[in-house]
Structure 1
Amino acid sequence: MKALVLAGGKGTRLRPLTDKLPKPMVPVANRPQLEHLLLLLRRHGIDEVVITLGYCGQEIEDYFGDGSRLDLRIAYEREESLLGTGGAIVQAKHHFDDSFLVCNADIVTDLNISALVHFHLERNALVTIATTWVEDPTPYGLVESDAKGRIQRFLEKPSLEEVTTNYINAGLYVLEPDALEWFPLRTPLSIEREVFPRLLERGKALYAYNSDNYWIDMGTPEKYILLHRHLLSRTAELPGCAFPASGVAVDKTTKIFAGARVIGPVLIGPRAQILPGATVGPFAVIGANTHVGPGAVVRDSVLWDGVQVGAGAELISTVVGQGTTVPPSVRFVQRAVTAETVTQER
């Protein structure tokens, strides 16, 4: 089976972190989120992937190339204008002549894709939508289904009074090529809000695969930090992202100076330096070539590659973008800062 990965979005809710970076390239545990997704596909036997590119798409192609590093074959489709999820699928349809997987590039999950595909084929479905249970479904699109999984209704961003199920669209689908005949020829086109309801109205075989696997929408800095808490505490695990039982994962090239404290769970990348008197952790991720200055504190935070934290600075529940210099003695709590915005955040 082949997969289509939709990677053309802008990730506006993660700004300023995504001002110059496509959301699928945002690092999760020190590697791009899209890499975790591709490794998940590979784990389930998918070795041919088409990636749609839009905003800052060249960064994605430059990083993954032809996919051989991940034992994949990757092709690319460029969106010259905003196509939407449905329009991007239509543009890429010439790659697919059999059942195929579609997934949003920014989803974070350990979904059992093999089980999803088996469910789809067993029911002879035209479309199967992976759904996931969430505590509060009101910001999302609900997917109501019967006992056999046949979809009965879609409800977009309901009020609390309208909620009839906590299962929501997880952004991952199995499609038959025949489904594409029902896609309107216009752009932008949303598969979630336009195509799926249209197929349901016409009585087509749409099914929901209800999953209890890990899933999180990391679309805001708060959720992004929460994701890393889950990974560091080992309540969630992604391909290529297993943490030791000790909770302390420090690259062998990292230098931790005398007098510095590292409190697990933490992940510290290559060539990082933790200087005397600094405290890192708990729940901290430190990127490659990042330096934490004397007396600085980094807790419940994610620092990308090449960050320089000044002496005595305190970072709590904060995300710091690549190459940012954090001035000495500042205190950031629940912030997302980049090299361009750090002075505004003081």
Structure 2
Amino acid sequence: MKAIILCAGYGTRMQPYTEKYQKTMLPIQGKPILEYLLEALIYAGFTEFILVVGYLKNQIIEHFQDGNNWGIKIEYVEQKNLNGTGGALLLCESMIYDEHFFLTWGDILVPYEIYRKVYQTFKNDNEDFILVTNYLENLQKGCAIFCNDKYCIKMVEKPPPNIKGTNLNNCGIFILSTEIFDVLREITPSERGELEIPDAISYGIETRDWRVRLIKMKKDQFRADFGDINVYEELKNKKEWIRDLKKQN
């Protein structure tokens, strides 16, 4: 199974750091964020990667090259038009040969064990779609996930402040069926003019009876969103979080 990492964006919320660095290449304890993510996915069992690059793409390509130094294979695709996560994913369609693939945002890090659990759940339970959630007190800046036991029934991107019934947020970590490519061609862009993967998943649940299995992170489990400048500034000079990242539960 190939693992796709989206790392093309400008990182405008991370300025001034991203005037010099691609967001996923921001250094922490001597290594870029993206390297920690790759190490986590290698630990989970992935060996073939597609990196969707764009802004300051050469920083990523020159650092990781073909992946041989990590014992993996890396391919690259450039997203010249930053038209959303769905637009980025469509660029990878011709590079996917299996019926399923792994996908994650490049600026999110969770414990290594979560990535392994996602892959093992797919292999053991034969699920077509898997989505990781994390607990979020204020869902207005996230994507609310409503569920029925172990499965997602609804996703609401940046919900209104009075939303009730859930504190589950889309963590940005998935296993998806290649069916999603057809759905991405059917849906319309969001209000931001972008093709959004959560919109495609919601559409699939509503119109194609997709069963989207949830992997729910615990409320106190480590999660770093490096789209938030405060998170980066808090963690860049600390070592303790790396222990949390590699902790085996």
Could you tell me the TM-score, scaled by structure 2's length?
Answer: 0.86
Q: 1:8 to 1:58 in 2, by over 3 A?
A: same
Q: Which residue does the alignment assign to 1:6?
A: 6
1:198 and 2:198 matched: no
Q: Which residue does the alignment assign to 1:210?
A: 216
Contact 1:214 1:236 in 2 (8 A): no
Q: Which residue does the alignment assign to 2:38?
A: 38
Of structures 1 and 2, the one scoring higher in RCO (CA 8 A, sep 6+) is 2
| Inter-partner Cα distance in structure 2 for 1:235 and 1:77 | 29
The correspondence of residues 163-242 of structure 1 with structure 2, limited to 5 A, is 163-184=164-185, 188-192=194-198, 194-202=199-207, 203-212=209-218, 213-228=221-236, 231-234=238-241, 236-238=243-245
Q: Residue 77 of structure 1 aligns to a residue in which SS?
A: strand
| Inter-partner Cα distance in structure 1 for 2:120 and 2:43 | 15
| Inter-partner Cα distance in structure 1 for 2:168 and 2:101 | 23
| Inter-partner Cα distance in structure 2 for 1:113 and 1:156 | 23
Contact 1:127 1:179 in 2 (8 A): no
Per-residue deviation, 1:58: 1.3
Q: 1:138 to 1:227 in 2, by over 3 A?
A: farther
Gaps of 5+ in 1: 242-346
| Inter-partner Cα distance in structure 2 for 1:114 and 1:153 | 25
Q: Residue 131 of structure 1 aligns to a residue in which SS?
A: strand
Per-residue deviation, 1:136: 2.9
1:271-298 CA distance string (max 9 Å, x none) = xxxxxxxxxxxxxxxxxxxxxxxxxxxx
| Inter-partner Cα distance in structure 2 for 1:115 and 1:219 | 24
1:281-338 CA distance string (max 9 Å, x none) = xxxxxxxxxxxxxxxxxxxxxxxxxxxxxxxxxxxxxxxxxxxxxxxxxxxxxxxxxx
Could you tell me the TM-score, scaled by structure 1's length?
Answer: 0.63
Amino acid across the alignment from 1:217: D
The correspondence of residues 151-162 of structure 1 with structure 2, limited to 5 A, is 151-162=152-163
| Inter-partner Cα distance in structure 2 for 1:167 and 1:219 | 19
Per-residue deviation, 1:150: 1.3
Equivalent pairs counted in the alignment come to 237
Runs of 4 or more consecutive aligned structure 1 residues displaced over 6 Å after TM superposition: none
**RMSD of aligned alpha carbons:** 2.2
| Inter-partner Cα distance in structure 1 for 2:146 and 2:235 | 27
Q: Which residue does the alignment assign to 1:150?
A: 151
Contact 1:154 1:197 in 2 (8 A): yes
| Inter-partner Cα distance in structure 1 for 2:180 and 2:110 | 25
Q: Which residue does the alignment assign to 1:120?
A: 122
Q: 1:226 to 1:236 in 2, by over 3 A?
A: farther
The correspondence of residues 50-69 of structure 1 with structure 2, limited to 5 A, is 50-69=50-69
| Inter-partner Cα distance in structure 2 for 1:130 and 1:41 | 14
Q: Residue 5 of structure 1 aligns to a residue in which SS?
A: strand
Contact 1:137 1:163 in 2 (8 A): no
| Inter-partner Cα distance in structure 1 for 2:106 and 2:161 | 29
Q: Which residue does the alignment assign to 2:108?
A: 107
Larger radius of gyration: 1
| Inter-partner Cα distance in structure 2 for 1:210 and 1:103 | 16
| Inter-partner Cα distance in structure 2 for 1:45 and 1:20 | 32
Amino acid across the alignment from 2:93: K
| Inter-partner Cα distance in structure 2 for 1:16 and 1:80 | 22
Q: Which residue does the alignment assign to 1:91?
A: 91
Contact 1:4 1:52 in 2 (8 A): yes
Q: Residue 62 of structure 1 aligns to a residue in which SS?
A: helix
Per-residue deviation, 1:121: 4.6
| Inter-partner Cα distance in structure 1 for 2:183 and 2:56 | 30
Q: Residue 19 of structure 2 aligns to a residue in which SS?
A: coil
Contact 2:180 2:200 in 1 (8 A): no
Contact 1:140 1:157 in 2 (8 A): yes
| Inter-partner Cα distance in structure 2 for 1:190 and 1:170 | 14
Q: Residue 172 of structure 1 aligns to a residue in which SS?
A: strand
Gaps of 5+ in 2: none
The correspondence of residues 68-83 of structure 1 with structure 2, limited to 5 A, is 68-83=68-83
